Structure 1
Amino acid sequence: MTALVARLLHLCAAAVGRLPWPWLMALGDGMAALWVRLDARESRVARINLELAYPDLLPAERAQWHRDILRTTARQALETLRLWTHPHARNLQLVREHHGVSLLDEAIARGEGVIVVAPHHGNWELLNQWLADRTPLAILYRPPESAVGEAFLNRVRAASGQDPDRVTQVRAEGPAIRQLFKRLGAGGVVGILPDQQPKAGDGEFAPFFGVEAFTMTLVGRLARRTGATVLFAWCERVDTQGDQPGFALHIEAAPDAIADPEPQRAVTALNAAVERIARRDPAQYQWTYKRYTLRPHGSGEPNPYARD
């Protein structure tokens, strides 16, 4: 039954994905406007995050940023349905610019393992497809709460038209994470989304936009123990053509401090790098995620989303 429902969801996603790009973008704009009107969860979380991360914005400016973020978020949700249900080769034609690709190629050629750190900026699903086209890849992911949701993700993230072993999805759980160490030790490539809040005991607090955020220590541990090269990567919208989105692929070397043996310094460097990328265009960052739920022990700070 789980597989059947996942297949039905895939068919629905494919139906939406067949809409012309201008229609998808207009539909996304309508969704964003509805979120604001209904004060939906996405709208409330984005507003709280903006208040925390950009406290000095004037009210009118914050309101405009809030609308821009929701519009970009809604558009991305719909464009991702299209990316998931179209051949990857066609999707990759949307990548108009490539920056720093030689860093990845050279790191792979050294055979010492590569950790691709991909913040929730731009469209990370398109980045996954680009990476899978370039090299076999293991992607760390947090499984959805429902079995149907996980089956759906496994279906849509499969490498279309490629070797089924091209992409390995690794659950963000203790036993499964050992696969990442093994792959890096063999000179392979792994992809990690670094700005998801880890479980208690799997992270450290470090500033993110001036607010303490519980941050994963996994990136630093992988880098220290394997000696793998750490690179940041993201696909940023540049809209080079008016009738469909265009993207610029960016790859940059990570700061050495990410592999610091002191976990606090490592996660501080990680958050600083993610913040720098997010500040390039705040509307393209995932501000609808509850990044600051956990608060430092003994701080007395409440969960800012408790009212949500």
Structure 2
Amino acid sequence: MGSMRDRLTDGLYGAGWAGVKKLPEPAAVALGRRIADFVWKRHGRSVQRLESNLARVLPEAGPEQLRELSRAGMRSYMRYWMESFRLPAVPKERFGRDVRIEDDHILREALASGRGVIVALPHLANWDLAGAWATTHLGIPFTTVAERLKPETLFDRFVAYRESLGMEVLPHTGGAAFGTLARRLRAGGLVCLVADRDLSSSGVEVEFFGATARMPAGPALLAQQTGAVLLPATLWYGDSPRMYGRIHPPVPVPETGTRPAKTAAMTQMVADAFASGIAEHPEDWHMLQRLWLDDLEPRGNGPHEAAEAGA
């Protein structure tokens, strides 16, 4: 049964990459919206979880407002997938037009310092499109981490897809990724990590929209160990340009305290930057899984949540 499910999952994702990228862009947009509305109307567990998470972001929102916001959220979520399936077929010169990043001088100056740069992002809008912008418009290759998927063929698809956009992709499992990331940073490289949800259950507890959540310690630990600059970044969708983003000010390493205390303080600052971007554009936050500690229960990773672990 598991093998059949794996083959089905791999086949569906393969069909997405093979089929959607051949569609004219308006047709892909319309298809994504139809799928989003169909899933939203069914009001299954993923949509219910999205509404529960959005209720944390907007505690004053009533059921009707949350319902409309979750509809916009599902449309944004499917827009991510339709765009991502099509990205390998998009002319690279478009990325400079399609993405506008506010305060990108902070990123450029950090890279020019030669210290190495860690960009930490939440699951907002399209982080793959932001990566394509960095590799093509800025001409900067970077390294990222992805959760190893089942079946292995699906993981290979994600790796090949992201490598086609100019990313170096490391598997999350096995513990070797941290050392490789540290070497890239010591060489003055760029590392990008999606970091608003901890999949290891050993992350750092942070205050996030009034309750406790757990976020990965990796960005803060890498900054401390290598001297790299840690920059939170947030994204949101537009029409023209297609997507916007903001580079937030660097997160400093505290001058005093133990390593765990420094890591906790830095991760909280990252969480605060994420919260500011999510609060401004909650419909573009693709968090369809449990996040806050009082919501957590034992669970397995689905393809989407696993694939995005270290995007």
TM bin, normalised by shorter chain, reads 0.7 to 0.9
One-letter amino acid of the structure 1 residue matched with residue 246 of structure 2: H
Identity score, percent: 24
Give distance in 1, aligned partners of 2:24 and 2:192.
31
Q: CA RMSD in A?
A: 2.7
Change in CA separation of 1:282 and 1:108 when aligned onto 2, cut-off 3 Å: same
User: Once the two structures are superposed, what CA deviation does each residue of 1:85-104 show, in whole Å capped at 9, x if it has no partner?
Assistant: 43433444322x34222222
One-letter amino acid of the structure 2 residue matched with residue 225 of structure 1: Q
TM-score by length of 1: 0.82
1:77 equivalent in alignment to 2:69: no
One-letter amino acid of the structure 1 residue matched with residue 133 of structure 2: W
Counterpart in the other structure of 1:129: 132
Counterpart in the other structure of 1:212: 212
Q: How many pairs were matched up?
A: 285
Superposition pairs of residues 88-127 of structure 1, within 5 angstroms = 88-95=92-99, 97-127=100-130
One-letter amino acid of the structure 1 residue matched with residue 144 of structure 2: I
User: Once the two structures are superposed, what CA deviation does each residue of 1:167-201 show, in whole Å capped at 9, x if it has no partner?
Assistant: 31122231221101111111111111111223133
1:254 equivalent in alignment to 2:255: no
Change in CA separation of 1:146 and 1:211 when aligned onto 2, cut-off 3 Å: farther
Change in CA separation of 1:64 and 1:195 when aligned onto 2, cut-off 3 Å: same
Change in CA separation of 1:257 and 1:224 when aligned onto 2, cut-off 3 Å: closer
Report if aligned partners of 2:143, 2:169 keep a CA contact under 8 Å in 1.
yes
Change in CA separation of 1:18 and 1:90 when aligned onto 2, cut-off 3 Å: farther
One-letter amino acid of the structure 2 residue matched with residue 186 of structure 1: A
Specify the SS of the correspondent of 1:170: strand
Q: Which deviates more from structure 2 when the two are superposed, residues 166-175 or residues 280-289?
A: 166-175
1:14 equivalent in alignment to 2:18: yes
1:192 equivalent in alignment to 2:193: yes
Report if aligned partners of 1:45, 1:290 keep a CA contact under 8 Å in 2.
yes
Report if aligned partners of 2:235, 2:277 keep a CA contact under 8 Å in 1.
no
One-letter amino acid of the structure 1 residue matched with residue 176 of structure 2: P
One-letter amino acid of the structure 2 residue matched with residue 51 of structure 1: A
User: Once the two structures are superposed, what CA deviation does each residue of 1:7-46 show, in whole Å capped at 9, x if it has no partner?
Assistant: 9955642321232332222222211221122223431221
1:175 equivalent in alignment to 2:171: no
Change in CA separation of 1:152 and 1:218 when aligned onto 2, cut-off 3 Å: same
Specify the SS of the correspondent of 2:87: helix
Q: Which runs of 5+ in 2 are unaligned?
A: 1-5, 300-311
Q: Which deviates more from structure 2 when the two are superposed, residues 205-214 or residues 40-49?
A: 40-49
Counterpart in the other structure of 1:224: 224
Change in CA separation of 1:54 and 1:280 when aligned onto 2, cut-off 3 Å: closer
Report if aligned partners of 2:230, 2:250 keep a CA contact under 8 Å in 1.
yes
| 1:86 alignment partner, one of 81, 86, 90 | 90
User: Once the two structures are superposed, what CA deviation does each residue of 1:86-128 show, in whole Å capped at 9, x if it has no partner?
Assistant: 3433444322x34222222221121111111122112101011
Counterpart in the other structure of 2:68: 64
| 1:154 alignment partner, one of 159, 175, 185 | 159
Q: Which runs of 5+ in 1 are unaligned?
A: 161-165, 296-300
Give distance in 1, aligned partners of 2:80 and 2:12.
21
Report if aligned partners of 2:222, 2:228 keep a CA contact under 8 Å in 1.
yes
Change in CA separation of 1:167 and 1:274 when aligned onto 2, cut-off 3 Å: same
Specify the SS of the correspondent of 1:230: strand
Counterpart in the other structure of 1:144: 149
